[in-house]
A and B are shown apart, each in its own frame.
Chain A
């Protein structure tokens, strides 16, 4: 019975990892940009929500709703002013720039908020749970997982059912040809990063309410996000969700065997998938 509980908790935890990863997957899928500051941007969004909660006395969900458009703006401006300039056939410049951004964000957050670890207060939600037969599920983990599914569905809809999504796919296939059709890749990329930052805000909401965070935890979240994206197969949104779940389950199962093995088990699962399916579980038909 304990194993059912472990696996269910793992699946729900996977929802959080999927949320970390979906923004990264979106940006990589559209512009082949690996954003090394992705984890730090999640932490930035968590602090933003914390500030809104503290200053305005809002609940965390309202604060996230307010933070989302701000983060969209930050993502849009970041792409327009910085990242668009370094995108090109050479993959090194964007890596260097986002690495620099990661260092900058960590230090700026440390300067502003100190190195103390913080948490976004979520009131009664933190301790609420529902019982499903023998398994007791926390309300926050359930909400996290539901959000991950909703975000995946929303992104899937955006990608395959809207004019913007068609432009995303056309630009991701071939920005040069797309620009000859009148598509402006720079503008498309800016919107994509903006949307990724909205997903980042949702991830930050659950990260910040479920765990303590401090300015330096970004890179570790980036690793989880990376692993989820790669397990799922680059560019596949459902694959990313599956990747998050696999890491989550591996972690809780590992922790069940030996509490010290939680993190290690997640990474081992990643390596195993990489050995067996180097292109991930659901690789895109065309690359």
Chain B
């Protein structure tokens, strides 16, 4: 499988603080990659670099065979990078269905009547159809997380970035959400997923990347990564 996303020697600093330090990795098309790391390791910054909300100080980001290092976020979205936020950011003034309509029409550049059915189908799949006409600001946490997912799906992404989407959910809610993500992945959508809820993450991803102080300290098979001494020390804080 060719790489859909590839980062080459990407760095980003805020003043003296280097939050992304010469990061290099590829994501083959169709893969689900998990990213873990302690708080402040630079995981969300990495997402912001991929979506274009932050620009890299150094290095090169290629998406779908194209150099997108300098491409603005909206165009990256149009070319198929979708994203959910760690802290759900619903459009308070739009209903759930309207939110999807906006994402789908703008994210795909299609008129509303062409995307309406698909939006309804996404709401069905993310189990939001029952609250389709509620203002987004009134949803529960699980529903907000689902809306993040649905909104990203509405842009019909090839690459889906999930930022701690399972965080703060109860065990039952988490399992339900994982099922939805697994179904999306099964359709061939490439996923990069940042998550602290490890069992949720490892039940979906095929590859795991560990970030610490902006550096990659391990990438590969999830079981092997979790078994490595360095990762356990840094990430889990266990001294062996």
Contact = CB atoms under 8 A, between A and B. Distances in A.
Interface of A: 163, 166-167, 169-170, 172-174, 176-184, 284-286
A284 B93 CA distance: 10
A166 B74 contact: no
Contacts of B107: 181-182
A186 B101 CA distance: 19
A169 B94 contact: yes
A181 B99 CA distance: 10
B105 interface: yes
Contacts of A180: 51, 53, 73-74, 77, 82-83
Given A169-B91, A170-B91, A177 B85 contact: yes
A177 B93 CA distance: 14
A182 B109 CA distance: 8
Interface residues of B, number: 31
Interface in B91-128: 91-94, 98-99, 101-103, 105-109, 111-112
19 contacts: A163-B102, A166-B94, A167-B105, A169-B93, A169-B98, A170-B93, A172-B93, A178-B102, A179-B72, A179-B73, A180-B74, A180-B83, A181-B107, A182-B77, A182-B78, A182-B103, A182-B106, A183-B102, A285-B92
Contacts of A179: 72-74, 77
Nearest to B82: A180
B155 interface: yes
B151 interface: yes
Closest 10 CB pairs of A and B: A182-B107, A182-B106, A181-B103, A286-B92, A173-B91, A169-B93, A183-B106, A179-B74, A182-B77, A170-B102
A28 to B, nearest CB: 15
B89 interface: yes
B106 A174 contact: no
B40 interface: no
Contacts of B94: 166, 169-170, 173
A174 B78 CA distance: 18
Interface in B166-218: none
Contacts of A285: 92, 137
Contacts of A286: 92-93, 137
A169 B98 CA distance: 10
Contacts of B74: 179-180, 182-184
B93 A163 contact: no
A167 B102 CA distance: 6
A284 B92 CA distance: 11
A79 to B, nearest CB: 17
Nearest to B83: A180
Given A178-B106, A182-B78, A286-B137, 13 more contacts: A163-B112, A166-B102, A167-B106, A169-B91, A169-B93, A170-B93, A173-B93, A173-B94, A179-B72, A179-B77, A181-B155, A184-B106, A286-B92
A182 B155 contact: yes
Contacts of A284: 93
A163 B106 CA distance: 10
Nearest to B111: A163
A65 B92 CA distance: 36
A198 B53 CA distance: 34
B91 A177 contact: yes
Contacts of A170: 91, 93-94, 99, 102
Contact of A181 (B53, B93, B102, B112): B102
Contacts of B102: 163, 166-167, 170, 178, 181, 183
Interface in B44-78: 51, 53, 72-74, 77-78
A283 to B, nearest CB: 13
A285 B138 CA distance: 11
B105 A178 contact: no
